[in-house]
Amino acid sequence: MIDQFQNVIQDLGALTAVPLHVDENFHCVMNINGELDIFLEPNERDHVLQIGCKLGQIFQGPFRERVFKQMLIANGSEEAHFGYFAFSSRNQQLVFYAIKFLPDLTGVYLADFLESFIANALKWKQAIEKGYEKPDTV
């Protein structure tokens, strides 16, 4: 499965003309314009590719509650096929993630998926950084 992951990353790099590599821990990090890091990691046990990014810290208070409400709504909407929102209470970090079945994954499919995933992650990240609870209020 690691070979499959490495092949998909190699194909993705060729398609996007971005040099990508798998590190010694079998992770790949894509930096998007210095604004967003996309983490790609295979899960051998479940045969999936875990895709994730941090959207930023958000601390306890009314704003966080409003953001959580909007993210729960997004998790249950059509928007959810691009990814899901989660929160780490350990570091107060908002996370956007997706899981894809690795054996069926190709570089072309991953490139297409990541285009939408990244666009969605960036619009949420930018909205929250500006103090908005969801992107369409920007």
CATH of the domain at 63: 3.30.1460.10
Structure tokens at 92: 């107060």
Which residues form the domain of 124?
A: 2-137
Stated as kind and residue range, the H or E segment containing 4 is: helix 2-16
Q: What's the whole-number mean pLDDT along residues 53-57?
A: 95
Q: What is the pTM of this model?
A: 0.90
The answer on pLDDT for 137 being more than 80 is no
Provide φ and ψ at 101, rounded to 5°: -70, 115
Q: How many residues does the structure list for the chain? A: 138
Structure tokens at 59: 């601390």
pLDDT of 24: 92
Query: How many domains does the chain contain in total?
Result: 1
* Gap between the Cα atoms of 42 and 47, Å rounded: 7
Least confident of 15-19, 34-38, 91-95: 15-19
